[in-house]
Amino acid sequence: MSMLPPLDDDALGPEARAVFADIRKTRNTDYVNHFWRVLAHDPPALRRTWNAAKEVMAPGALDPLTKELVYVAVSVTNNCEYCIHTHAAAARAKGMTDAQFRELIAVVALANQTNRIAIGYGIDVDERFREPLA
Amino acid sequence: MSMLPPLDDDALGPEARAVFADIRKTRNTDYVNHFWRVLAHDPPALRRTWNAAKEVMAPGALDPLTKELVYVAVSVTNNCEYCIHTHAAAARAKGMTDAQFRELIAVVALANQTNRIAIGYGIDVDERFREPLA
Amino acid sequence: MSMLPPLDDDALGPEARAVFADIRKTRNTDYVNHFWRVLAHDPPALRRTWNAAKEVMAPGALDPLTKELVYVAVSVTNNCEYCIHTHAAAARAKGMTDAQFRELIAVVALANQTNRIAIGYGIDVDERFREPLA
Amino acid sequence: MSMLPPLDDDALGPEARAVFADIRKTRNTDYVNHFWRVLAHDPPALRRTWNAAKEVMAPGALDPLTKELVYVAVSVTNNCEYCIHTHAAAARAKGMTDAQFRELIAVVALANQTNRIAIGYGIDVDERFREPLA
Amino acid sequence: MSMLPPLDDDALGPEARAVFADIRKTRNTDYVNHFWRVLAHDPPALRRTWNAAKEVMAPGALDPLTKELVYVAVSVTNNCEYCIHTHAAAARAKGMTDAQFRELIAVVALANQTNRIAIGYGIDVDERFREPLA
Amino acid sequence: MSMLPPLDDDALGPEARAVFADIRKTRNTDYVNHFWRVLAHDPPALRRTWNAAKEVMAPGALDPLTKELVYVAVSVTNNCEYCIHTHAAAARAKGMTDAQFRELIAVVALANQTNRIAIGYGIDVDERFREPLA
């Protein structure tokens, strides 16, 4: 039940139109999904969020597929149905196989389980894991 | 503040001792961390959880490092300090670089942000993302 | 999928009826929404929850609109669709503009993002922020 | 237990140094808190997150104090101790009284309670609350 | 919107078929619900999860009904609609009365409320509650 | 890091003093724990929360120990360290054995795991579980 309707292209002002053009160019597709069409009601949020997503999800030290898998893992933990569906599809488009998806769910489920064992027993962090990474 | 103290090796019964032996062999280290030493108060849970972790985290369609990154992502979203520290260390041991850790946190943070945009606006799943994966 | 059907007025016992009368009087409307009609299956919970809501949401040091915005922020973070819809409507009735709603979602999304940066890096609270408020 | 140590000013590269200068100028204080000093290990994330925070938390349709209260509400719901302490202090600096803080916690607690009543009973959204806001 | 369709009996391989036989025998019913039929796409996960559920939910120091109530409490807190419905039904089958269900929701709601009061005020654990249980 | 210090008895006003007297009488102990001593900064919240807790946690269709177990289950899922420690102690005082505590953690962990399997695969509620309970 969307609080705001997805905006059609001809309802966009210049700032949103520029963002949509960049989404299409970056993703190499004409399709712009509901997330951006709803966020287009708030053009500064649309620009800010798209720029952040574009920067964070770009290939870097982690490859784009790994980033999508992490995105799905967070979305499942938070129970965001929209995000699970769109990012599972994005992961699919970047090469995720059925077997990888099933293993992803299994790891997410295991981590949610063991998180509560550690929290429930209040397990103290081992001395050797207390040092900073860098 | 641990609800139960980590058990020393000489406090273990035979079922827990067998699990500890398998942990040591599988991980190729003598060190057994607090998580298993606390869970050793409940030998069936120790066995069950270790067998599940061993099976789920083994190399498969996803490589072990990717699985650790997903584990950390869930643990950050759930705010499990113990799990973040131990699995960041595990990821480190499997090759995670500093740059990869920083990108991981950035993706987790972005997903937590956009999850709430999708939830807050109640965005409806696009028709094209509604089909089953398989 | 409601576990219990919303109760009609003529299905109410005296305790629930008295609460409904107070809801109508306090809100100055005849409409009683599903939340209270379902909770009416448990009259003591209905009375207790309504009295708490009435007391907590009343004008005080914070004005009623600010309280509704906070309510929506929590409901978005918890992904409670029912609560988002009803309290966004309540905020609307108390003067929330479209622009305010969009900014609210942006703040909620930002906070969810930065919460995970602070948790993921395990950032220690600065000395100056450790003192009690009062 | 910070995964990465807060960076001192003389450990900053040019991109981080520019962000710190803008933080100091915008906030009109020389103090830069741990959050930014840890994020400074990832200069693009530092820049991106600071720019987003600056834009989202600026006075707009909602005043800065209301935004801080919403921030604290989300941080309490997510159990982010760092974020609760820093944003309660920020709210304080923007005029939050003790009485307002206490009412804020009461609203957050009430919303977390009623969220689970609505979720637990699976209450269906009333027809009248299903319409889009705009 | 299921990502994977529930599998019919004749689509199962031998490992999944054996698990389904054990589900039917253990529960003394021919009906196998969607959870297991979807998980059947991943036979090792099906086997592992069923064996864990069978072991954990069996009568032990806690009786089966109490375990189902705890399951529902977690599912409500996490907002898992599927899990609330199936485990409320399971609790029903094990003797949960309407009055017990209503009290369960009331306790879950209260705990979610007071959790945030404790977190929001950052209340320190009393000395006397810091000792290990065993 | 408490935002507000626990109040000593001689710092209480009449409303808080009356609540403390009722806590002592109801629990049959002179000890009043930090939760109530911090909440005493907000006497109406103290009164409201104590009355709700007293009513909800009283023996009813569910016995007091079962209610404490449910309380701990929610607190573990939400990662409220204060609440886990105090309510595990309360459950202990009401007869919870070590074996029951270990089984409780196992059920909480299992439910958190299977919740994410159901959410991750987006499993549709079976027709037979869609009917209202009452």
Residues C25 and C52 in one domain: yes
| For residue E133, pLDDT beyond 80 | no
Task: Return the closest-CA partner of residue E107 out of E64, E59, E62, E74.
Answer: E74
Which residues, 6 or more positions from C73, have their beta carbon under 8 angstroms from its beta carbon? C104, C107, C108, C111, D70, D73, D74, D77
The string of pLDDT tens digits covering residues E39-86 is 999 999 999 999 999 999 999 999 999 999 999 999 999 999 999 999
Q: How far apart are the C-alpha atoms of B49 and B45, rounded to whole Å?
A: 6
| For residue F56, pLDDT beyond 70 | yes
Residues B53 and B93 in one domain: no
B24 in any annotated domain? yes
* The total number of structural domains that make up chain D: 2
| For residue C133, pLDDT beyond 80 | no
Residues D66 and D37 in one domain: no
The string of pLDDT tens digits covering residues F19-52 is 999 999 999 999 999 999 999 999 999 999 999 9
The string of pLDDT tens digits covering residues C33-55 is 999 999 999 999 999 999 999 99
Q: Which residues of B touch E5 (CB under 8 A)?
A: 132, 134
Locus of tokens 């979807």: E38
CB A72 within 8 A of CB A91: yes
Per-residue pLDDT, averaged over A11-34, amounts to 98
D129 in any annotated domain? no
First to last CA, chain F: 45
Query: DSSP per residue over chain E, as a string?
Result: --SSPPPPGGG--HHHHHHHHHHHHHHTSS---HHHHHHTTSHHHHHHHHHHHHHHHSSSSS-HHHHHHHHHHHHHHHT-HHHHHHHHHHHHHTT--HHHHHHHHHHHHHHHHHHHHHHHHTPPPPGGG-S---
Q: Do F116 and A116 make contact, defined as CB atoms within 8 angstroms?
A: no
| For residue B4, pLDDT beyond 90 | yes
Residues F24 and F82 in one domain: no
Cβ contacts from D onto E, under 8 A: 56
Q: Do F98 and B41 make contact, defined as CB atoms within 8 angstroms?
A: yes
Q: Which residues of B touch A112 (CB under 8 A)?
A: 74, 78
pLDDT at C131: 80
CATH classification at residue C17: 1.20.1290.10
D128 in any annotated domain? no
Nearest residue of B to residue E46, measured between CA atoms: B52
D18 in any annotated domain? yes
The string of pLDDT tens digits covering residues F5-18 is 999 999 999 999 99
Residues F127 and F67 in one domain: yes
pLDDT at F134: 64
The string of pLDDT tens digits covering residues A75-121 is 999 999 999 999 999 999 999 999 999 999 999 999 999 999 999 99
Task: Return the closest-CA partner of residue F56 out of C50, E66, C40, E107.
Answer: E107
Q: Is C50 left (phi over 0), alpha (psi -120 to 50) or beta?
A: alpha
The string of pLDDT tens digits covering residues B11-69 is 999 999 999 999 999 999 999 999 999 999 999 999 999 999 999 999 999 999 999 99
CB A15 within 8 A of CB A49: no
- Confidence bin at B132 (pLDDT 50/70/90): confident
Average pLDDT, chain C: 96
- Regions of chain D where pLDDT drops below 50: none
Name the more confident of E2 and C122.
Answer: C122
Locus of tokens 């089953």: B132
| For residue C22, pLDDT beyond 90 | yes
| For residue C134, pLDDT beyond 70 | no
Output the pTM of the full model.
0.97
The string of pLDDT tens digits covering residues A64-75 is 999 999 999 999
Residue type, B120: G
Residues E34 and E69 in one domain: no
Cβ contacts from A onto E, under 8 A: 18
Q: How far is CA B134 from CA D48, E41, F115, F128, in A?
A: 37, 9, 21, 25
Residues C32 and C82 in one domain: no
Q: How far apart are the C-alpha atoms of F111 and E73, rounded to whole Å?
A: 9
Q: Which residues of B touch A7 (CB under 8 A)?
A: none
Q: Which residues of B touch F (CB under 8 A)?
A: 1, 3, 41-42, 45, 49, 78-80
The string of pLDDT tens digits covering residues F62-92 is 999 999 999 999 999 999 999 999 999 999 9
CB C113 within 8 A of CB B113: yes
- Confidence bin at C6 (pLDDT 50/70/90): very high
B129 in any annotated domain? no
Residues D80 and D116 in one domain: yes
Residue B28: how many CA atoms within 13 Å on its side-chain side? 2
Q: How far apart are the C-alpha atoms of E22 and E20, rounded to whole Å?
A: 5
pLDDT at A75: 98
pLDDT at A118: 98
| For residue B134, pLDDT beyond 80 | no
Task: Return the closest-CA partner of residue E65 out of E90, E99, E86.
Answer: E90
Residues A129 and A66 in one domain: yes
Q: Do B55 and E48 make contact, defined as CB atoms within 8 angstroms?
A: yes
Q: How far apart are the C-alpha atoms of D6 and D31, rounded to whole Å?
A: 13
Residues A33 and A6 in one domain: yes
Residue B10 DSSP code: G
Residue F58 DSSP code: S
Residues F34 and F88 in one domain: no
Q: Which of F85, F97, F124 sits opposite E2 (nearest CB)?
A: F124
CB E111 within 8 A of CB F71: yes
B6 in any annotated domain? yes
Residue C10: how many CA atoms within 13 Å on its side-chain side? 0
Percentage of the residues of chain A whose pLDDT score is greater than 90: 95
Q: Do F3 and C133 make contact, defined as CB atoms within 8 angstroms?
A: yes
Cβ atoms within 10 A of the Cβ of B26, count? 13
- Confidence bin at B125 (pLDDT 50/70/90): very high
pLDDT at D64: 97
pLDDT at D79: 97
Q: How far apart are the C-alpha atoms of E123 and E125, rounded to whole Å?
A: 6
Name the more confident of B75 and A134.
Answer: B75
Q: Do F115 and A120 make contact, defined as CB atoms within 8 angstroms?
A: no
Rounded to 10°, the helix C64-78/B98-121 angle is 120
Regarding an ipTM greater than 0.90, the answer is yes
Q: Do C42 and E81 make contact, defined as CB atoms within 8 angstroms?
A: no
Closest Cα of chain D to F36: distance in Å?
14
Per-residue pLDDT, averaged over E120-128, amounts to 96
Name the more confident of B132 and A5.
Answer: A5
Percentage of the residues of chain F whose pLDDT score is greater than 70: 99
D71 in any annotated domain? yes
| For residue C28, pLDDT beyond 90 | yes
Rounded to 10°, the helix A81-93/A98-120 angle is 140
Show the domain range for B100. Answer: 59-124
Residues E108 and E125 in one domain: yes
CB C102 within 8 A of CB A41: yes
Q: Could you tell me how many helices (H) and strands (E) chain A has, helices first?
A: 6, 0
Q: Of the residues F41, F58, F75, which one is the last residue of a structural domain?
A: F58
| For residue F116, pLDDT beyond 70 | yes
